[in-house]
Structure formats: C-alpha cells, structure tokens
Amino acid sequence: MKILITGAKGFVGQNLVASLENIRDGKDRTRNIVVEEIYEYDIDSTKEQLNKYCSDCDFVFNLAGVNRPKDQSEFMEGNFGFANMLLDTLKKHHNKCGVMLSSSIQATLLGRYADSDYGKSKLAGEKLFFDYANETGTNVYVYRFPNLFGKWCKPNYNSAVATFCNNIANDLEIIVNDPDVELELLYIDDLVVELLDILEGKEHHCVFDGINAVGNNDGKYCYVPTTHKVALAKIVELLEKFKNQSNTLVMPEIPEGSFDKKLYSTYLSYLPKEKIIFPLKMNTDERGSFTELLKTENCGQISVNISKPGITKGQHWHHSKWEFFIVVSGHGLIQERKIGTDEVIEFEVSGDKIEAVYMLSGYTHNIINLSKTDNLVTVMWANEKFDPEHPDTYYEEV
C-alpha cells in the first residue's frame, strides 16, 4: 500500500508517519497492513510532488490545514482551497483511492463556534469531500476532531493542553481564565489507532447530535470513540502533581486507558533536559545505603538497599506491614523468625537467580551479605508508604 499524508510535518502527521514507518519497517506486526511507500507532503512540498503522489497512492490522509493564519481569509484558502486542489489532482489521474479528511468540531458552527471562520472553512471542505464521493464513488472518511493532545503537539498554538504541559514543565506562567471550562480531548495515540483502523476497514462511523458524535454504523461521518471531557482546573491539578513527583516520589494513580495516564505521557515529552534526571536521597552509613525510589498513593513504595560485604541489616518486625525482598546483585541470606518462637526460616538468595521473598507480618527478619568482596543489592517493596508518625517497625534480632 502506498500512502499519501498531507500535512505530514504537523502534529497528527508526525505521529501517523512514525506509526506507519514502524509497520513498513516490520517493527510493528500488530496490524494487517502492508506499507510499501509513505508519501509525505507539506507546505514546503511542490505541486509536482503532489501530482506524482496522487498518481500513485492507494490511500490519502488529508491532514493539511491552516489553524493560525495572519488573516482570516487564509482559512478558506488554506483549508478549502488545498482540499479542492488535492481532489482535482486525484481526479486528473482517475485515482479513486480512499481519502480521509481531518475536519474540526468547529465545523458544526454551533455554540461558541457559530461565527468561526475556521469552522466555516472546515465545513466547506467537508461538503467538497462528500460531493467528491457522490461524483466519483470514492470512499471518503470525514472526521470532526475535538481538542487534540499528546507528544509533539506545538505549545502556544492551538492546544491548551500542550501549552499547560510546556509551561508547567519549564516553570513558566500559565493563565486559566475560567477553571470550570470543560474540554473534550482526544489523545494522539487513540487518534492514530483509528486512522490505522481505516486501512483495515474497521473505522467507526457516527452522526452528530449538536457537537456530540453518536456512534452509528450508517453515519456519513467518522469519529474516534475514545475521548475525555476534563475541566481546565483538573488538568492543571494533575500537571502540578506530575511536576512534584520528582520531589515527593509519589506516583499518582494512572489507571490503564485513563486521561491521567495519557496526560502524564504528554507532560513528560515537554521536560527540558535538566529535568529529565533528578537526584534521590541516599541514606548512607558504614553498612551501605538505603534509598527510597518510588512511592504510590495506594500501593506502597519501592526502595533499594545496598549492604557492604559481611553486613547484616534489618533485625526488626512489623504488625501489619509486609514486604518483598528481591536480591538483584550479590549473594545473601534472608532470615525470618515468628515473634515469640525460636524457629528460624532461611532463604539463600543471589542475583544469579532472582527471586522474591515475602517478609511476613509478625516475623522479625534480616538480610545478611554472605560475600567478603561484593555488595549485596536488594530491591524492596513495602505494601504501604513509610509514615514516621506510625512506622510499625520494632527492633528485635532474628
């Protein structure tokens, strides 16, 4: 399959091209798609290139458009005008390949979009595509996108999320005029999944109830089923949590498929180099070191313990807290004894055979470095964050 992408250097275009390249190069085998060529057309491309691509392509993703012109008249020229040229070029070559159009929810011209010149140009482009389908019998796929966000989105352009992520990551001011304003947001990876679905004949169709897309197999429009409606205040609150993670070590809850997870991935893509790395507090003494790595809101914390040769650490027990000890380097011995008894259970552990050992509630326990030359490195997970006010930790030798 030879695929033409217009607006290939834009936000959506970059992400789509990267995914198609993975398929073309055999790095992504999850799709039943064979990609032979990817034709990238953008503002610096020539009409000769467009002519060649349109003569040869098997599908077109028309992502090209004008979002922030110097003059409002450029909306119609950049959006409707280019779409018209694209379709005329396909017709010239009698190429009836499928064509996807990137439109906007503003094309509904409803509510705050009623007087949108951008929306009017997008609506004109939609009509052009539907007329083209009726005239040629070609399959067209018209999407009205809500607000988009994700990696590589340009800040201070047309995405509030991109601007917030960039500014908070770089310690710049953000301005929120109305924190209660709710945005419908579409994540770039969800969008790209839908675009690839078109190539497999699995696109989602809809009709519009006002500005809301309603799934309908017979609908003339297409849509991405997964979007998120989130207030500006919530977005800022989450981003501040993400920013503070390097200080608190607390990882907020990020359930699979959640907006929080997608926003965190987006936020990280805007970090400046100096914030990609951050120090951790190592508690060191003559025995070695202990460092907290990560804390969670509801699932405890992870730490790493380094014991010098011959050293014994631990020698304490907990009423309710329990832990995993996982030796990843070195050779050691873990001992556990139930409080009030003399019976000791032992586990010889090594980084050569990584195993997880439960530290049981009500059992005093230790870990001994059996090596005379090498450090013992142990990853430790506790089922709760350490609370100095209620440590639930009591000294007693095994």
Which candidate in 118, 264, 267, 363 is catalytic? 118
pLDDT at 364 over 60: yes
Q: Give the pair of three-digit tokens for residue 177.
A: 């005029």
> How high does pLDDT run on average in the chain?
94
CA angle at residue 363 from 361 to 366, to 5 degrees?
115
Q: So what's the pLDDT on residue 283? A: 97
Q: So what's the pLDDT on residue 370? A: 98
Q: So what's the pLDDT on residue 118? A: 83
pLDDT at 74 over 80: no
What is the DSSP secondary-structure string of 161-196? HHHHHHHHHTT-----S-TT-EEEEEEHHHHHHHHH
Residue for token pair 């003339």: 220
- Give the residue from 279, 283, 284 showing the smallest Cα distance to 247: 279
pLDDT at 398 over 90: yes
Q: Is 287 helix (H, G, I), strand (E, B) or coil?
A: coil
- Told to judge if 118 belongs to the known catalytic residues of this protein, a careful annotator would answer yes
pLDDT at 67 over 60: no
CA–CA distance, 228 with 187 (Å, rounded to integer): 8
Q: What count of other Cβ atoms lies within 10 Å of the Cβ of residue 200? A: 10
Q: So what's the pLDDT on residue 75? A: 52
| Residue 80 confidence class, pLDDT cut points 50, 70, 90 | confident
* Residues in CB range of 279: below 8 A, 6 or more apart: none
Q: So what's the pLDDT on residue 158? A: 80
pLDDT at 66 over 80: no
- DSSP letter for 353, please: B
Q: Give the pair of three-digit tokens for residue 261.
A: 């997870």
pLDDT per position as a tens digit, 233-291: 999 999 999 999 999 999 988 899 999 999 999 999 999 999 999 999 999 999 999 99
Q: So what's the pLDDT on residue 76? A: 52
Q: So what's the pLDDT on residue 300? A: 96
CA–CA distance, 325 with 286 (Å, rounded to integer): 21
Domains of the chain: 2-145 (3.40.50.720), 282-395 (2.60.120.10)
Q: What is the reported pTM?
A: 0.91
pLDDT at 71 over 70: no
What is the DSSP secondary-structure string of 234-285? HHHHHHHHHHHHHHH-EEPP--TT-HHHHHHHHHHTT--HHHH-----EEEE
Q: Cα–chain-centroid distance for residue 129?
A: 32
Q: Strand 323-329 vs strand 376-382: parallel, antiparallel, or unpaired?
A: antiparallel
- Give the residue from 179, 99, 108 showing the smallest Cα distance to 146: 108
Give, in order, the Cα–Cα distances in Å from 267 to each of 13, 117, 129, 131, 170: 20, 31, 36, 41, 11
pLDDT per position as a tens digit, 163-185: 999 999 999 999 998 999 999 99
| Residue 117 confidence class, pLDDT cut points 50, 70, 90 | confident
pLDDT at 77 over 70: no
Q: What percent of the chain has pLDDT over 70?
A: 96
Q: Is 124 helix (H, G, I), strand (E, B) or coil?
A: helix
